[in-house]
Amino acid sequence: MKLKTIYELAVKKGLKEDQRPKKVIEQALKRTKKEYGKLTGIDKSTFDRDSLKHPFYDTRILNGSGDEQIKNVLVGIDIDVSEVLLAEKLNEKGKKIDLIISHHPSGRAYAQLHKVMDIQSTLWEKYGLTNEVASGIMKDRIEQVARGVAPANHGRAADAAKLLGIPFMCIHTAADNCVAAFLQKIFDNKKPKKLKNIVSVLKSLPEYKNAMTMNAGPFLLIGKPDTDAGKVFVDMTGGTSGPDKMFARLSQAGVKTIIGMHCRETGYKMAKSEFMNYVIAGHIASDNLGLNLLLDAVDPRGSLNFVECSGFRRFRRNK
């Protein structure tokens, strides 16, 4: 399979599982194309043209032409220079690595992490928040994240991959869309009555079972096992944690329980003050689930060999 085919199929799956209305995505792409059309000179020549095709700024080919034939893929939740060197070491030992995939963004994809965060505010609109309110709440947090990622040395891992001649890509929001949609559908259908029922469902999934063996499984952050679950919101896509202000608005909209990958201390305090329940599914386990669902779509026939590293474990659902 060609590198560009893997990339295109990953994006296709991410779009399929995107919970935003198709019209919203099309409008966003239209705005980007309009902005691009106004550019001239170096601003136009350096523009990230992938953003004209899809809205996942944190999903990119970071090294490679796209025409490389791929068979063996080293996959990790985080890929840094050390994992790139690991790929080279595996090559030296005869286990040829044709491609490295990172879940968390790197290089130019990491520099644009804040640009995918508007997914969150669109999802809140499903619970009754107006576009004006949702976008207003998110604005400050997007700017905060943009300031946070700006000074990072984004290109270290990509540079290492280039020096060693190893194709490298990252799949972030496209995969996070998969886990968010998958779990939201499960809980919408099952309508769990108690928090213990939510945790039980999570523990039945292989990614979370595996996490439990490493003491990183699902747990109740706020609430007790027999607490009523009420309306459940799965908060697992949109780049990174949203603003703390969202808890009050979601509570007012009738959301009783949030299921997240993780929660900042300030968010924990705000959710608790709103008398909301919070279930931590687990960060790395949830990232695993999203990647596995996406890779099932990219490679339904099992033609690729996946080498696990950096917290990733491959569980297939379409055997």
Residue 317, domain member (yes or no): no
**Contact yes or no for 96/51 (Cβ under 8 A):** no
Q: Are residues 99 and 243 in the same domain?
A: no
Answer yes or no: is 245 within a domain.
Answer: yes
Same domain, 292 and 277: no
Specify whether 101 is located in the same domain as 217: no
H or E element at residue 19: none
Q: Is residue 115 part of a domain?
A: yes
- Same domain for 26 and 154, yes or no, is yes
Which tens digit of pLDDT belongs to each residue from 42-91? Answer: 999 999 999 999 999 999 999 999 999 999 999 999 999 999 999 999 99
CATH code: domain of residue 215 = 3.40.1390.30
Q: How far apart are the first and last CA of the chain?
A: 19
Decide if 314 is inside a domain.
no
List the domain range (segments joined by +) for residue 268: 179-282
209 contact partners, CB below 8 Å, separation of at least 6: 203, 217
Report field, pTM of the whole predicted structure over 0.85 = yes
Same domain for 228 and 194? yes
Contacts of 144 (CB under 8 A, 6+ apart): none
Interatomic CA distance for residues 279 and 105, integer angstroms: 25
pLDDT in tens, 131-158: 899 999 999 999 999 999 999 999 999 9
